[in-house]
Structure 1
Amino acid sequence: MTPEQLSTAIVDVLTTLVDQGALTLPDGVPASVTVERPRQKGHGDYATNVALQLAKKAGTNPRALGELIKAGLEGYAGVAGVELAGPGFLNIAVDAGAQGRLAADIVAAGDAYGHTDTLAGQRINVEFISANPTGPLHLGHTRWAVLGDAIGRVLSAAGADVTREFYINDRGVQMNHFAASIIAAATGRPTPENGYAGAYIDDLAKAVGAAVPGIFDLPEPERLAAVRAKGYELQLKEQQQQLDSFNTHFDVWFSELSLHESGSVPETLKRLEELGHVYELDGALWMRTTDFGDDKDRVLIKSDGELTYFASDTAYYLNKRARGFDHCIYLLGADHHGYVGRLKAMAACVGDDPEQTLDVLIGQLVKIMRDGAELRLSKRAGTIVTLTELAEEIGVDALRYSLARYPADSPLTLDVAEITKASNENPVYYVQYAHARTSAMMRNAADLGMSLPGDAFDPALLSHERDGQLLRALAEFPRVVAAAAELREPHRVARYLEDTASVFNKWYDTKECRMLPQGDEPVGPLNLARLVLVVATRTVLANGLGLLGVTAPERM
């Protein structure tokens, strides 16, 4: 029996009490109530403080209301007993059969277990990398490549229609500097001022020349334009390949330049003028963002006629809304902390409620240490270590999991030796090994001719205390996923997996909970029931790792 099922049962009891006139709730019966695993052993399988929450509204005291709910729940199928404790807490014990059925339900659900409809009907855009197409992706992009992707995965699991979007910063003078750097490398000249250096520029020069023979012999400015276009194409393709190999995939690669070429920016400025949120001062055009809590108004067009990045940002937001997204999530680096207020004010200026349509998450910096020194230099880029080099040094799974298990707003220092160690002290190894252990148990069962019992499964046989602990841990998974999606905190999934792996290992080490028959013992119903529990555990571990973009190995 899951917390959600108990919540439904309590709502049913409250509804019955109201219908019978035994209880009055002016605000109506809540759609759901909070049911949690108790912190202290001996307080039942689940606990709820619903009587404390509703007593005042109901015009009674918590213990009196608790007694009414207790009486109703005690007759509910699957509830073994209810204890009223303290000022009005309800500790609930469920019978083994009701609890054990969850294992079969998880196996039947398979990949879908953990998915909910809590965000069903919502169209959400997650923009989590914004980069110039002028070089390889680097450490600064790596954390968002993990967290943005994981946020997208948990949002999808919670029922939302999610689009993952990469914003290409392909407008501005840096693109000309990029092209000039490639030309210099191809023609044997020094890197120009404000240009790009590194072995990757040399490689690009060779690739551009091979793709378009004679391109470097073209006259200016035709040569600059041609090299810029081809270099852009090849470098963007490499960024896409970098991310694909890192198990991060985007649905949309959106060009900043396209906003200007399509006329979206002038249309945006016109809309802002119509809404009365722009004004001219000192020859520049300003957006009146201070009307909506920003610390200062923002320039849209400078006095020299040049558009600002904020003008592009505003047009881009409206473009997303025009594409039908109900909610836009931005994942920005620590140096963009000041953007939170201005983006929310911008959304308000265009007529939206930013609390409903906009989330801005700020991520802190990551340091990667090796042998006591910070990894800084790149063999290829010449400046900062690239995403590909990090993945090769650490491993995709170890790097993704290590970045996913911490909140985005916490500064992070990771040691290469620690996060690649094949030890239970390494969280990713610990969780992956638990999954590999369940896979090995399933192989051993198959060698003995054991298979899932189907309709012959007797859930009441999973009555050992350790069986119950493992079942209750597995039951929490959908709620953890829903919370991770609602709060945009995928680290909750990682920490849950570690806790669940610990519960499973304790179950595995309990002699009374052996799945395989010992010696010459025949395979019995209890062995098969525990096989169902092992497969259910394997399912949850695999699904959770999948939400983090981490593999679930069958052997380690």
Structure 2
Amino acid sequence: MTPVELSRTVLHAVRRAVDAGELSVAVPTRAVVAPPGPGGCGDYATSIALQLARPAGQPPLKVAEVLRPHLLGADGITDVVLTGPGFLNISLDRAASGAGLVGEILRRGERYGYADGPDGRVVQLHCPHDLRAVVVADAAARLLRSQGALVRVTAEGVEPAWTSVLGVTVDAVGRAPAELPVNVRPVPAPESADPMSLGRDAGRWALLHPAPHDRPRADDQHLVQRESNPLFRVRYAHARARAATRNAADLGFTADPGPVPVTGSDTGTPNGTATVTAPLADAAPQLLAALADHPRVLAAAADHRAPDRLARHLVTVADAALPFLPTVLPRGGEKPSAAHRARLALAEAVGAVLAGGLDLLGIDAPDHL
């Protein structure tokens, strides 16, 4: 079960409770699910009970108690625990949810996490005559459009080189009316820094990766091809994922999401025989969690006009993927198995998420490094 499917399942639970006369509320159009916070448990948590408490005229905990049995009856959910004032903490069938997540990513490709269509929002972004502000506004507009918003970007000034070198675009240049104040104003880059000397990809990353209140560092460290450079790790993980697909084709097999039999080398048994089943990879729960969190990160980065959230998330995905990617292909005299096909599917999902995320930041994702 993917986060999107789980959100729909939560709404269906609300609908069933309403139809049964257990709750008297209007069924909301959206149920937010996210990794559990402090004190939570399971795979995901939702605050839908807190959202419905006031219109239902009941305490949040009571609403959560009403919804719990309806969630427990849903396919793919193994447990629901109530914590705090009324949070529903949901545990999933990991094998089924992992396979479903990877299948959903492969189906959506680089548009995984995008809205299904326009949502009716019209957003105006206006920034000062400042290079970092214009780059942040450009990336924020890409994120907002991915979430269904119609966006217009204006700036009080733009230099032609900013467009030719860093690829930024705005819809209009000049002072905006008094009723449209500047609403994108990150801390500018130091006057001594020259992000454009880094080129489009590294220059944009240098300005987008730090939080808006942090002063960006635009030096040659963004160009080095080593693990100390977060941009390199993200692009390297993407290139390794794409290489896995090419190498698998040479070996005559393709991706197929599904559960992976864990071998003795994974479980510690001496004979190398399969003993248990794990979702998609031998030790990749943090990778699956990072991929599952991608739609929420895109929505939050868009809502807060904060491309840095997406940049840091891509680093998290890459850091979780790099130890996993060497396990994808058969080793030595191994023949490709269902486990290898499932691992390849997870690798391809990593490549899609990293490529799509970098594209939203306006950064290239090369297949070779």
TM-score (norm 2): 0.83
C-alpha spacing 1:40/1:503, structure 2 compared with 1 (3 Å): farther
| Residues 1:406 and 2:210 aligned together | yes
Given candidates 338, 358, 362, the residue that maps to 1:545 is 358
Contact 2:31 2:48 in 1 (8 A): yes
Given candidates 58, 63, 66, the residue that maps to 2:64 is 66
Q: Deviations over 1:278-315 (max 9, x none)?
A: xxxxxxxxxxxxxxxxxxxxxxxxxxxxxxxxxxx4xx
C-alpha spacing 1:417/1:5, structure 2 compared with 1 (3 Å): same
| Residues 1:491 and 2:299 aligned together | no
Q: Deviations over 1:339-377 (max 9, x none)?
A: xxxx3xxx2xxxxxx7xxx66222322116xxxxx45xx
Task: Give the match for residue 142 of structure 1.
Answer: 131
Secondary structure of the 2:23 match is: coil
Given candidates 152, 159, 166, the residue that maps to 2:148 is 159
| Residues 1:436 and 2:253 aligned together | no
Secondary structure of the 2:79 match is: strand
C-alpha spacing 1:147/1:43, structure 2 compared with 1 (3 Å): same
Residue 500 of structure 1 deviates from its aligned partner by: 1.5
Residue 73 of structure 1 deviates from its aligned partner by: 0.8
Given candidates 199, 209, 221, the residue that maps to 1:395 is 199
d(CA) in 2 for partners of 1:411, 1:13? 43
Task: Give the match for residue 473 of structure 1.
Answer: 290
Given candidates 168, 172, 187, the residue that maps to 1:248 is 168
Task: Give the match for residue 116 of structure 1.
Answer: 115
Task: Give the match for residue 78 of structure 1.
Answer: 76
d(CA) in 1 for partners of 2:280, 2:42? 14
d(CA) in 2 for partners of 1:53, 1:115? 24
C-alpha spacing 1:480/1:411, structure 2 compared with 1 (3 Å): closer
| Residues 1:427 and 2:230 aligned together | yes
| Residues 1:516 and 2:329 aligned together | yes
Residue 168 of structure 1 deviates from its aligned partner by: 6.0
Contact 2:13 2:67 in 1 (8 A): yes
Q: Deviations over 1:295-340 (max 9, x none)?
A: xxxxxxxxxxxxxxxxxx4xx54xxxxxxxxxxxxxxxxxxxxxxx
d(CA) in 2 for partners of 1:450, 1:22? 51
Contact 2:310 2:357 in 1 (8 A): yes
The number of residues matched between the two structures is 351
C-alpha spacing 1:53/1:120, structure 2 compared with 1 (3 Å): closer
d(CA) in 2 for partners of 1:40, 1:524? 39
| Residues 1:458 and 2:258 aligned together | yes
| Residues 1:360 and 2:183 aligned together | yes
Secondary structure of the 2:45 match is: strand
Q: Single out whichever of 420-429 and 157-166 deviates more from structure 2.
A: 157-166
Contact 2:133 2:188 in 1 (8 A): no
Contact 1:115 1:157 in 2 (8 A): yes
C-alpha spacing 1:118/1:477, structure 2 compared with 1 (3 Å): farther
d(CA) in 2 for partners of 1:55, 1:158? 28
Residue 82 of structure 1 deviates from its aligned partner by: 1.9
Give unpaired runs (5+ residues) of structure 2. 261-277
Secondary structure of the 1:30 match is: coil
Secondary structure of the 1:68 match is: helix
Residue 555 of structure 1 deviates from its aligned partner by: 2.3
d(CA) in 1 for partners of 2:96, 2:258? 8
Residue 497 of structure 1 deviates from its aligned partner by: 0.8
| Residues 1:18 and 2:18 aligned together | yes
Amino acid at match of 1:97: A
C-alpha spacing 1:523/1:432, structure 2 compared with 1 (3 Å): same
Which structure has greater helix proportion?
1
Contact 2:241 2:325 in 1 (8 A): no
d(CA) in 2 for partners of 1:123, 1:67? 38
Larger Rg: 1
Task: Give the match for residue 286 of structure 1.
Answer: none
d(CA) in 2 for partners of 1:494, 1:45? 23
Residue 516 of structure 1 deviates from its aligned partner by: 1.3
Secondary structure of the 2:217 match is: strand
Cα RMSD for the two superposed structures: 3.0
Task: Give the match for residue 105 of structure 1.
Answer: 104
Give unpaired runs (5+ residues) of structure 1. 131-140, 170-238, 257-312, 318-342, 348-353, 369-373, 376-386
d(CA) in 2 for partners of 1:122, 1:245? 31
Secondary structure of the 2:184 match is: strand
